Amino acid sequence: MRVLICASEGAPYAKTGGLADVVGALPKALQANGVDVRVIMPYYKKIKDKNLAQYKGYAYVRIGASTEYVGVFEAVHENVIYYFIDSDRYFGRDGFYGYGDDGERFAFFDFAVLEAMKVVGFFPDILHLNDWQTGLIPYILKNNYYAYFEYNRIKTVFSIHNIQYQGNFPMDLMNILFMPYYNSLEFMGDINFMKTAIIESNAITTVSPTYKNEVLTDQYGYYLNNILGLRYFDFYGILNGIDVNKYNPETDKLIYKNYSIKNVTTGKKANKEALLKEFGLTGIDAPLFGLVSRLVDQKGIDLLEPIIDEVINYSNANFILMGSGDSKYENFFRSLESKYPNRFKAYIGYSDPIAQKIYAGCDIFLMPSKFEPCGLGQMIAMRYGTLPLVRETGGLKDTVIPYNQYTGEGTGFTFTNFIPNDLKEVMFLAVNVYNNNKLAFKKMVKQAMEKDFSWDQSALSYIDLYNRLIK
């Protein structure tokens, strides 16, 4: 079976979020099960500057009055072939997203992906698309390529990693795209890439079973819930995994000291000590909260605002948080740091080594998300024996087993309603278990580390789906 995975970012080449991790890890798991899988993505300036890929040929795509060059490059990473779409005009820029012409840029990309197949001679059985940036592909495939045998037989799978970002652009984008107009493009007066993909793909997936149910509701669907409802029987929730080789406390070179489930108590202690020291904190015996996140509304930082003073003033907890994003959250973190210099530290930005040290060195990992399609941080945390404290939504609900004080069951702490007070209560609960019930806490650490978050199971679910579509 041949599968082409198409996305706007993929680790290790280009990463802004969890999507890149999925694109970096899923292919390896598919390959291990005998799939001929390749990846295709834009050749951003940041990738091109490294000069790691080989030129394979070119094609053209018409946009408006111009005929645009499409260069195709190839690189191999951990045995997986990556194709890159080169265009100075659209991708020769410092960033990946956030430009005024993003609609045009990714429409171009969607046309280019289909042309690139001819250049490299790889026509997949399954074209696996991800998020809005790839959303026009099933539509173009159906309308512009229906007369070509190699294209005709391709089945499309569209994966939603976050339904909040839909790629909606003014209808006049149509004026420069060479394709016929049908209603599936339009949503509330705009061209909506994600809606188009939901209607036109052979199957739709999202990244956890709970998020699948959530996006079918008004509360989480960002208006597309009823469109998804139309495809209910072709819509699946398949949980992401994490790269358990990269995220492995036994071998991770970025953390202070390696450890396994066997020596987790001393191993984590050594990491915590070094982490506290690096950030200028003390309190090896006090519970240490960590957070690694993009600082956007989705992540529930709002909930911390009204309650964190109380947690700091009425408990012995310390905090080391890392992230960047909305300036209101960055400033909130900075102000806490100056208010509580001995209790609270923030690293504004993103650094892989520091992220790993936080995963390894903290006791409790905060993720109070408003919504969370899957979430990777909570799984990474558990792998390092750090107990996640999460809101029961999306993939967080599917991966974290709540602490049960009667049975000792659990791999973390959870709360249900998006209410500051509920977060506060569960933070005090976690602090209390840490301080006063060390055995229960340790038992949970082991339970968390024993969980299997590898891609194996999910890869089989995708292969199952692919097979059903091909038949």
Tell me how far apart the alpha carbons of residues 117 and 295 are, in angstroms, rounded to a whole number: 37
CA distance 7 to 41: 5
- Structure tokens belonging to residue 414: 């959870």
Pick 17 or 209: Cβ nearer ligand GLC: 17
Cα end-to-end distance, the chain, whole Å:
12
Of 108 and 329, which CB lies nearer to ligand GLC in the complex structure? 329
Tally of residues, the chain = 471
> Which of 415, 408, 410, 385 is closest to 400 using CA atoms?
410
Which residue's CB is nearer to ligand GLC, number 71 or number 395? 395
Residue 301 vs 376, nearer CB to ligand GLC: 376
The residues near 279 (Cβ < 8 Å, ≥ 6 apart) are 320, 345
- The footprint of ligand GLC (CB under 6 A) covers 17-19, 22, 161-162, 207, 240, 372-376, 395
Query: What's the CA gap between 260 and 383, in Å, rounded?
Result: 10
Sheet of 318-325: strands edge to edge?
Answer: 344-348, 318-325, 288-295, 364-367, 387-391, 413-415
| For residue 402, cis peptide bond before it (omega within 30 degrees of 0) | no
CA nearest neighbour of 300 among 366, 355, 373, 380: 366
For ligand GLC, give the closer residue by CB, 361 or 373.
373
The nearest distance, CB 298 to ligand GLC, in angstroms, is 6
**Closer by beta carbon to ligand GLC, 17 or else 325:** 17
Nearer to ligand GLC, 199 or 239 (CB): 239
User: CB 396 → ligand GLC: shortest distance, Å?
Assistant: 9
Rounded to the nearest 5 degrees, what angle is found at the Cα of 178, between the Cα atoms of 174 and 179?
80
| Cβ 462 to ligand GLC shortest distance, Å | 13
CB of 132 to ligand GLC, least distance (A): 12
Contact 46, 94 (CB under 8 A): yes
Q: How far is the CB of 326 from ligand GLC (least distance, A)?
A: 15
Minimum separation from the CB atom of position 22 to ligand GLC (A): 5
Tell me how far apart the alpha carbons of residues 210 and 196 are, in angstroms, rounded to a whole number. Answer: 23
Cβ closer to ligand GLC: 267 or 373? 373
Q: How far is the CB of 176 from ligand GLC (least distance, A)?
A: 30
193-200 vs 137-144: helix crossing angle, rounded to 10? 60
The least CB distance from residue 75 to ligand GLC, in Å, is 22
Residue nearest to ligand GLC (CB): 18
**3 state SS of 184:** helix
Q: What are phi and psi of 11, to 5 degrees?
A: -70, 145
